[in-house]
Every structure is written in C-alpha cells, then in structure tokens.
C-alpha cells in the first residue's frame, strides 16, 4: 500500500462536502485534521492558512494538497475530501478544485513530509486515479481507490 493510502486509512475520506469557497474548505479540512491529529482546530487552521499564503497548494486538474508542518503534531495525519462543487483555489491552471488531500506533519518530519508530498503529487497527476476518485460512490470506495494506486497507476477497483 502506498504512503498516502496508509496515512488516510479506511476512515480518512469524506465525499460531497459542502464548502462554498477556499476559506470554508480550509475550515473543514482543519476540523477533520484536528480530529485525526489531536492538534487544536484553530492551530491546524492557522498552519494551513499560513502555508497557503506562501503560495497555493493547488496542483491543477481540480486537485489541491493543503498541508502544514507543526511542532504540536506528534504523527502524520491526513484526510481526503471531495467537495460537492469545485471551489476556486488559485490553482496554476486556473481551474476550481474538488479533490483535496490535506496533510499535517510533525515539524521534525522533513524528509518524510517531502516523500509524502512527492507521492501525493504523483498520485494526483494520474488521470485515472483522479477520475476514479471523482466517480467514487462513497468514502470506502475512495479509500480503496487510493490504496489501489501503486507504481504510477491506479488500478480499477470493483464497485
């Protein structure tokens, strides 16, 4: 199983989330990451927002990877969120975003953080994976799609 799928796990995906704008998405991601990490929601939100101020974490193709390194974080935490309606997120291709992989990593986890981001970028650069996540009927299916990705390709998962 790939590194991203290990972190998201079977219970780390949420589909068809209502969020009208970038701030609402960051609020929701912070809420979910706070539950998974034990870091207070306000601190997670500040960390995500600080990173976004450095430059958008939008990758293009309707995908963004909001993330933050925080000293309060004891272990890597992540969530996959698909919004009901795509949201403007300052992506380089100008397209709105509907797939969000949000990550929270310990401050000292620099090498692992970079490897995780590289894996995530490769995964979400894979068109079949993006399409499968957009077609997923529920969170369990989305988690299976993530887990199916290996060596640069998404395997088709049965429905």
- Across the range 71-98, mean pLDDT stands at 95
pLDDT tens column, 7-61: 999 899 999 999 999 999 999 999 999 999 999 999 999 999 999 999 999 999 9
Rounded to the nearest angstrom, the gap between the alpha carbon of residue 120 and the centroid of all alpha carbons in its chain is 8
Cβ–Cβ < 8 Å for 33, 77: yes
pLDDT digits (tens, 9 = 90+) for 130-159: 999 999 999 999 999 999 998 554 444 333
And the tokens for 127? 């068109």
Positions marked active-site: 67
């Amino acid at each position: 199983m790939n590194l991203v799928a290990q972190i998201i796990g079977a219970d780390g995906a949420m589909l068809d989330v209502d969020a009208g704008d970038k701030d609402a998405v960051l609020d929701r991601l912070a809420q979910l990451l706070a539950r998974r990490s034990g870091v207070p929601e306000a601190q997670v939100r500040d960390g995500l927002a600080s990173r976004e101020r450095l430059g958008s974490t939008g990758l293009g193709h309707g995908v963004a990877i909001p993330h933050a390194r925080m000293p309060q974080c004891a272990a890597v935490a992540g969530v996959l969120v698909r919004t009901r309606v795509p949201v403007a997120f300052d992506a380089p291709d100008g397209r709105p975003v509907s797939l969000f992989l949000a990550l929270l990593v310990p401050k000292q986890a620099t090498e692992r953080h970079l490897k995780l981001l590289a894996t995530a970028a490769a995964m979400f650069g894979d068109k079949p994976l993006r399409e499968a996540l957009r077609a997923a009927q529920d969170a369990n299916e989305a988690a299976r799609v993530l887990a199916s990705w290996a060596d640069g390709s998404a395997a088709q998962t049965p429905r």
